[in-house]
A and B are shown apart, each in its own frame.
Chain A
Amino acid sequence: DADVTQTPRNRITKTGKRIMLECSQTKGHDRMYWYRQDPGLGLRLIYYSFDVKDINKGEISDGYSVSRQAQAKFSLSLESAIPNQTALYFCATSERGDGYTFGSGTRLTVV
């Protein structure tokens, strides 16, 4: 499903480096979310945005920042990557808070 596109698909980076994960969508949804997935922990909410001027912290926002550049674009940044940020990251969109559409995910490894 190309409606929600994440780049890159895979990334290996070094401790202390700044990295940005990008998400773009063609669904026209106002609401966008960033989650991280770790084995046994499910999907945990990092940040979410209900429109370009509305950014909110989720359960685990420490060490992360986001930018909503446009309705269709929502980027996640790790200012100084650390190994325990190694995870699978998903972007998602929704129109009204239901029926989330997820991107294909970005597998990030911090060494």
Chain B
Amino acid sequence: GENVEQHPSTLSVQEGDSAVIKCTYSDSASNYFPWYKQELGKRPQLIIDIRSNVGEKKDQRIAVTLNKTAKHFSLHITETQPEDSAVYFCAASRYNQGGKLIFGQGTELSVKP
């Protein structure tokens, strides 16, 4: 069945450094790839998403890249800040066939001041 693998499970960086989280997906028909941030005790919230007709998307300090051939996509956070500390989830879906998201296992990012 459909599967999304996410790595690493935990990531610790110094404030100001960059962080990269990687995901691979199994369903070659997937065409929508969002990233969610979940702060402690809070609900997941969408931070950025990309569709399969685009290879890269940026929003200030965050960016997502997509490699359809290899079936993987990555989240890049530059100039990390302590408030970036959270659990990040990647997900994939066939947007035009229902949109049920399959999530990765999550990455706990810790940014040390």
Contacts and interface: CB of A to CB of B under 8 A. Distances in A.
Interface stretch (B12-20, B59-67, B68-76, B92-100): B92-100
Q: Which of A31, A43, A50, A90 has the most CB of B within 10 A?
A: A43
Interface in A18-33: 31, 33
Contact of B101 (A41, A56, A96, A100): A100
Interface string A40-84: 111111001010000010110000000000000000000000000
Contacts of B101: 33, 43, 45, 100
A42 B89 contact: yes
Interface residues of A, number: 26
Nearest to B32: A98
Q: Which of A58, A98, A99, A103 has the most CB of B within 10 A?
A: A98
Contact of A44 (B44, B96, B98, B103): B103
B113 interface: no
Interface residues of B, number: 26
Contact of A45 (B96, B100, B104): B100
Contact of B105 (A35, A40, A59): A40
B64 to A, nearest CB: 14
Contacts of A44: 103
B106 A42 contact: yes
Interface in B37-60: 42-46, 49
Nearest to B96: A97
B9 interface: yes
Interface of B: 1, 6, 9, 32, 34, 36, 42-46, 49, 89, 91, 93, 95-96, 98-106
